[in-house]
Amino acid sequence: MFRRILVPVDFTPKNERALARARQLAELAAGEVTLVHVVETLEDELDTDLASFYRRLEAKAEERMAPTLAGLGDTIAKRSAIVLGHRARAIADFAEHERIDLIVLSSHRVDPDKPGHDWMTISYKVAILARCPVLLVK
């Protein structure tokens, strides 16, 4: 059973279905939901000249995380994290480091008339990079 569930969030309405599914799964397994938001960095290495810029982005993300976390209700264990990096890699690395059992991500339908066009989305990259199972919610 999946007890440690990760939901990457970008604070858009598309996250709602993934959050709802993660909450259901956590309730079934007496599990915990962790929300993670990745502040995308410009370079592979954090530039010290941009440190204050990233701190402001982290603070803004913390403000937006609080109501998102509260929206999960009081019936499950929950926590959140803000990380810096490149989104897909940061999500996969966070999941591995935190020993996550399942990543639940919002996704969209790929247009079969445009093969390969939608394949490089964050959800696709995470599904390829993650060592744990990934549930794509449409």
SS3 labels along 80-101 = EEEEEECHHHHHHHHHHHCCCC
Region label for 27, one of left (φ > 0), alpha (ψ between -120 and 50) or beta (otherwise):
alpha
pLDDT per residue of the chain (138 residues) written in tens, 0 to 9: 899 999 999 999 999 999 999 999 999 999 999 999 999 988 756 667 788 889 999 999 999 999 999 999 999 999 999 999 999 999 999 999 999 999 999 987 777 777 666 667 899 899 999 999 999 998
Closest CA to 27 of 54, 8, 1, 47: 1
Closest CA to 58 of 40, 41, 39, 34: 39
d(CA 88, CA 16): 19
Could you tell me the end-to-end alpha-carbon distance of the chain, in angstroms, rounded to an integer? 22
Superfamily of domain 4-137: HUPs (3.40.50.620)
Please write the tens of the pLDDT for every residue from 35-60. 999 999 887 566 677 888 899 999 99
Neighbours of 23 (CB within 10 A): 21
d(CA 36, CA 58): 12
The pTM of the full predicted model, rounded to 2 decimals, is: 0.91
Region label for 12, one of left (φ > 0), alpha (ψ between -120 and 50) or beta (otherwise):
beta
